[in-house]
Structure 1
């Protein structure tokens, strides 16, 4: 367990002196022992773009994308980071996952995960955490898969490398991960290539990959997509059912509070790199305190599971069929409410 240096604690705990008073992202920092009781405790997180030089040797100024963000997550809890483009929600999530691009860096603050300080952790140590303890579901699910490799290869190879499993054990675990997300004929899906699968099966394969290590925390980025409301609702249902059943913690990154409300207990609203408001979903919807929160609520899309949607999925024995076009086969998957263990 790493202990934080004194200057980190002082910086992370500094309170605001501006006209707005103390903000939601500037809570005083409790003791290290108290913070370690949470699965995740973020204090004073600041993410800045690194200094860049243009081809004509002009130095571009640094930009602060995340400023003094604070949040806490217990085991099994769910929290949504909601904001518009440039709000800092994505940079916050990527900083926690250890996936910040090379032009961005954590310049201040603390990220404590299971009592271990992640800020300043070497890339190799970050890579060990990612997958094994922290799963990540990217916004482009099809783009996250290699079109030249089978699904089995893409799930089993990381399991062999990080857990030291032999081929049969890695294959068995990969098939179990596919069954967990409701894909009945996991053998057929495992031998397929991403291009052979329909979008809804790709969704489930990507979720299976993110959860194949049984992580304690899943970070999922799910942007609003009104043009594909039904597949999106299916993905939300899947994530919600898996989180409820397996009790991993969930951080959902989205630009729509309607999506956040479908999956999460709490919501943190970000604007210009800061958390302007956070609280329980019911409270935030009923009594928004910040004007930006009200604007986000007014702009939300109707992604709820209405009576007509639920009626179409009554009964755990209802199966849906998704064609695997190039193989002439079919992949069947159960409703998310009847997922495998």
Structure 2
């Protein structure tokens, strides 16, 4: 076993955990890669062997887990049963059971599953956006060394946007129709960064230009009803990234339109700016185009997890194979996936009239 620089606060259980994972995954001397864990669905009768059972491994030390940007262990989310006669609410049916995953800085991971699989609840728990009807009943979510489970709503709100960006599935309905785009994007910048009005306006225009909007000044002064669905999608991405978060959680359903454009935009921005990405989708094809790794969920558990190549070439779980059989192809060009490629962010010409916005790959030549 190669030399490992072990922190003095590592327990024997932690050291055993490192040795085990070195044998299984060849963790190098710098220990600069943390591998994810596969938790097999307890209800599955498949005969294939379990790759890992993270929920049964010794818990590594806080220092070791903090080497990753995000480390989730044993995450369990349940619905909250309303309290009766003054009693507190109690946990009900489990939505997520003992989910474990790890994400490094700049890495991309897709949570893939059908409705009710637990992928959305997992993402919302990480983002601190679980609805009042759900609660984290067990487990740990470590982000940049900070424990997120148990944080107050106010502390979670401070993290959201500044450190963790969230792109909702309903991109057309997340904006307030009575306020301009400038007002809605600049207000969080002023509140969280303490910027004055001119600085917040300048940063808003920069965020809109970064997502390929050719006329950011026009878009900023528009109301949501003045813009096409394509431009609204771009505005949503700009809002999620306006505070330069280290992690973007993007919920993109396969029925989103135009899907290829949105995938191209998210992937190009992630490659250029190197934020970590968690993509929540119900289509393996979408996940394969945008992410390096995929975690497949079923009935609240991660049933299989690995690199895109591993899952596409040799899926181990029957449910993964069924999802692969149902996937749709979403092909992006090599330029779209090249790190730092500006050409991967097509421009959008936005005109200030209802339904007048148009999408062009060569929008620069049409300006003016």
Taking structure 1 as the reference length, the TM-score comes to: 0.84
- CA 320–248 in structure 1, closer or farther in 2 if over 3 Å, else same: closer
Corresponding residue number in structure 2 for 1:166:
196
Question: Would the aligned equivalents of 2:91 and 2:137 in 1 still touch at CA under 8 Å?
Answer: no
- CA 169–332 in structure 1, closer or farther in 2 if over 3 Å, else same: farther
Residue 195 in structure 1 maps to residue 222 in structure 2: no
1:259 Cα deviation after fit:
0.4
Secondary structure at the counterpart of residue 139 of structure 1: coil
1:61 Cα deviation after fit:
7.9
- CA 17–219 in structure 1, closer or farther in 2 if over 3 Å, else same: closer
2:82 to 33, 52, 56: 52
Residue 303 in structure 1 maps to residue 330 in structure 2: yes
Superposed CA deviations along residues 244-278 of structure 1, whole A, max 9, x for unmatched, are 00000000000000000111000000000000000
1:177 to 207, 225, 228: 207
Counterparts of 2:305 and 2:95 in 1: how far apart (Å)? 19
Question: Would the aligned equivalents of 1:316 and 1:334 in 2 still touch at CA under 8 Å?
Answer: no
- CA 292–323 in structure 1, closer or farther in 2 if over 3 Å, else same: same
Corresponding residue number in structure 2 for 1:32:
62
Corresponding residue number in structure 2 for 1:217:
247
Corresponding residue number in structure 2 for 1:146:
176
Secondary structure at the counterpart of residue 50 of structure 1: strand
Corresponding residue number in structure 1 for 2:291:
264
- CA 267–27 in structure 1, closer or farther in 2 if over 3 Å, else same: farther
Gap runs ≥5 in structure 2: 1-8, 10-36, 338-342, 364-368
Residue 240 in structure 1 maps to residue 267 in structure 2: yes
- CA 122–196 in structure 1, closer or farther in 2 if over 3 Å, else same: same
1:325 Cα deviation after fit:
2.4
Aligned residues: 312
Corresponding residue number in structure 2 for 1:325:
353
Counterparts of 2:348 and 2:234 in 1: how far apart (Å)? 13
Secondary structure at the counterpart of residue 98 of structure 2: strand
Corresponding residue number in structure 2 for 1:86:
116
1:302 Cα deviation after fit:
2.0
Counterparts of 1:132 and 1:299 in 2: how far apart (Å)? 37
Residue 65 in structure 1 maps to residue 95 in structure 2: yes
Secondary structure at the counterpart of residue 63 of structure 1: strand
Counterparts of 2:203 and 2:83 in 1: how far apart (Å)? 46
Counterparts of 1:113-124 in structure 2, within 5 Å, are 113-124=143-154
Taking structure 2 as the reference length, the TM-score comes to: 0.78
Question: Would the aligned equivalents of 1:198 and 1:323 in 2 still touch at CA under 8 Å?
Answer: no
Question: Would the aligned equivalents of 1:138 and 1:221 in 2 still touch at CA under 8 Å?
Answer: yes
1:320 Cα deviation after fit:
5.2
Question: Would the aligned equivalents of 2:77 and 2:121 in 1 still touch at CA under 8 Å?
Answer: yes
Bigger shift: 109-118 or 217-226?
Answer: 217-226
Question: Would the aligned equivalents of 1:80 and 1:260 in 2 still touch at CA under 8 Å?
Answer: yes
RMSD over equivalenced CA pairs, Å: 3.2
1:26 Cα deviation after fit:
2.6
Superposed CA deviations along residues 214-257 of structure 1, whole A, max 9, x for unmatched, are 0000000001118x4xx100000000000000000000000000
Corresponding residue number in structure 1 for 2:282:
255
